[in-house]
Structure 1
């Protein structure tokens, strides 16, 4: 599963909650033994609980990732170093194989495209400047979603966002390639996927086009969107066959608190859907607005005295209260969390407001707030509503006749619309 349709700087941004770890230690392989590396990767995924027995596991043990990704980038420049620098490793170069094998089977994201380049017939070597524009997603998240899809032989699968072709390859292996369609907006990626899936003996239909439009007039038993969207593409819902399942990550403009939309069509044709709070999600789709905390803004949050500081016996919601943070993200709008901070630190880049909360003693918090928005009060107000709604971690997702989408708790006390991106009034027209 890969994130084509990523934002232009996707390879350079801090992962926040949108992609899981991009880097990570790569196992050293003195000898390039792909079969052993595959077995080790599968064993790690099983140990961490992402992967269970079944056909997805069997496919991962069979599929040689070095055929799908015979070249991959490794970053050589340090954080913040300009211009950024990457080396393109090549499987055909014996000296590259141990490091490349470690990248491919570490379980971390694999960087496959720099600055929108063609993937076929590239020369190995160094690239600098610009950014990484496509990557194969963290395997733990990939396999958990593939397990959720419940792939079986004979199913018709639409893979939206071809990228490196990993999801399409697993679908071909499990379901048979005649029923698999993979679509991507980047001709370079679809050309490479066609060639490399063919090298594995797979001949799915590979389409260059808008992923959110899918294939009008067709029906699919499984639809998988491998980039984040602001709402579920209605064209894809219409293409979902009876007893089918669609998965897509959904976020606001903030990358901090994502959700997973799980859409099902019943055997009699009715649509049911829910939005689950999750820890990580795919990178944002092409053209999707994103807000970030600059390094300078992070430092201000961490060090400045703020407009006021108070002691509070009200604890902020826990990181594990993901259902709260998902709701707060959509209901408040414009907030980004600094996950690098040891304690809770949140900023509103649009207007420059921020807050930090640190524990001081037993059941007491030091809360510092700055800017026109009182983010601490906003959070506590939503927390009260969330608890009144029985602290949900998932929400019913409803599709209105006019094309709008609404997420709501079962008791109806907490709801918001997904159809349009939200922003807080104080953020409008302001800068950080």
Structure 2
């Protein structure tokens, strides 16, 4: 485990001027203007999409030189269905700069580490196989969550899952770096983030450790931000939340298709309350969080399949916007993954090989083809009926009892489930995740 960044406790300005380097900068040249224009366009796109609004988060993102935090990043040179082949681009190489400029300001996630490698001092070039083990999340999701945090000057902030350091930099800009702690399980990620944040003039405490345990040494915290998905709320993080504080984290199952956003708050009296909001996008799973995926071979079998059980149905499947229903389905009938690239509604259960494909063939008429031991179509409508009877909730209560049991419940109590550590059961069913990114009857209320 590494120690605190020596600069993390030094006296300094409350909020650093983020874009200013540590030495006097030369007058901007054409390249500097191009970078500033790309950053402005990225922020404008987030505003147009409704993910970003005027305020301190927008100001910080507009000022943040992403090329300083991510001077190297990976692009995939192989097709999605081919063995992965990655190329590491480097900002210092003129031939790479144009492509890297576009990548860093595309708004998409940016991969910065391959197979747990050291990040500082890497040689650019091609890597084959393996997977990306650290990244910067998509701009839209990052902006939206940071705004939900309601960061303010003087707050103490715990950023769990440092990645490229974007969240730590924004929190330092808004709150003042002396109150910011950023924590990552990988020392290579921590070392790189520390070096690059210092190059920006930011001095948060950069530490290495298990994010599920938080960092109590410098707590409690007014804001806690977790940048990876968890199967339930880590009790240590709740314990480190200060009165009046707020914590945000993606809560999900082994499926990447239907995430939820856990919002935890502690009242001034000390009582912790939480809710689970169905959202379209969420963070990817952290270390040890096995996630299901639909392989190319599985998807091809569904596309080419002839035979199986085909029936006509007048049951309308829930709309994509009914995220509260899909979130409930994910927990009540776990193991399902949606193929969002398919034209038809296509959902598979990779552990047992079951799948369903539903094609609209007329007004309230669907042709449903299914295969395998699970009747996924029936599972969908079972949960849809229970969800509608519960008032079609989009947000659920998240209750944690004295024994640590965590239960998700609709406001009226008609629809509920208990959170379990299903992602850590050692199923061995792992692989690339969806890009983010890379979403019986009960008594009526």
- Name the structure 2 match of 1:96: 96
2: distance between equivalents of 1:429 and 1:249?
22
- Name the structure 2 match of 1:284: 285
Map 1:325-364 to 2 at 5 A: 325-364=326-365
- Name the structure 1 match of 2:421: 420
* 2:139 is the alignment partner of 1:139: yes
What is the DSSP-based 3-state SS (H/G/I as helix, E as strand, rest coil) of the residue aligned with 1:227? coil
Deviation, 1:72, is: 1.0
Q: 1:429 to 1:258 in 2, by over 3 A?
A: closer
Contact 2:231 2:423 in 1 (8 A): no
Deviation, 1:129, is: 2.1
Contact 1:313 1:364 in 2 (8 A): yes
Map 1:27-426 to 2 at 5 A: 31=31, 33-82=34-83, 84-216=84-216, 218-421=219-422
Q: 1:130 to 1:331 in 2, by over 3 A?
A: same
1: distance between equivalents of 2:224 and 2:317?
37
Contact 1:350 1:429 in 2 (8 A): no
What is the DSSP-based 3-state SS (H/G/I as helix, E as strand, rest coil) of the residue aligned with 1:167? helix
Contact 2:325 2:384 in 1 (8 A): yes
Deviation, 1:226, is: 0.1
Deviation, 1:199, is: 0.5
1: distance between equivalents of 2:159 and 2:298?
38
* TM-score, normalised relative to structure 2: 0.86
2: distance between equivalents of 1:285 and 1:203?
25
* Cα displacement string for residues 248-276 of structure 1 (whole angstroms, at most 9, x for unaligned residues): 10111111111000011111111111101
Deviation, 1:378, is: 1.4
Deviation, 1:375, is: 1.2
Deviation, 1:422, is: 8.4
- Name the structure 2 match of 1:25: none
1: distance between equivalents of 2:86 and 2:365?
46
Deviation, 1:305, is: 3.5
* TM-score, normalised relative to structure 1: 0.89
* Cα displacement string for residues 182-213 of structure 1 (whole angstroms, at most 9, x for unaligned residues): 00010000001111100011111111000010
Gaps of 5+ in 2: 1-29, 430-445
Contact 1:277 1:323 in 2 (8 A): yes
Q: 1:429 to 1:59 in 2, by over 3 A?
A: closer
Contact 1:110 1:136 in 2 (8 A): yes
Gaps of 5+ in 1: 1-29
1: distance between equivalents of 2:232 and 2:240?
16
* Cα displacement string for residues 149-170 of structure 1 (whole angstroms, at most 9, x for unaligned residues): 0111100000000011000000
2: distance between equivalents of 1:71 and 1:87?
10
1: distance between equivalents of 2:286 and 2:224?
16
- Which moves more between the two structures, 275-284 or 346-355? 346-355
What is the DSSP-based 3-state SS (H/G/I as helix, E as strand, rest coil) of the residue aligned with 2:151? coil
1: distance between equivalents of 2:428 and 2:151?
47
What is the DSSP-based 3-state SS (H/G/I as helix, E as strand, rest coil) of the residue aligned with 1:342? coil
Contact 2:290 2:428 in 1 (8 A): no
1: distance between equivalents of 2:106 and 2:351?
37
What is the DSSP-based 3-state SS (H/G/I as helix, E as strand, rest coil) of the residue aligned with 2:227? strand
2: distance between equivalents of 1:130 and 1:375?
32
* Number of residue equivalences: 397
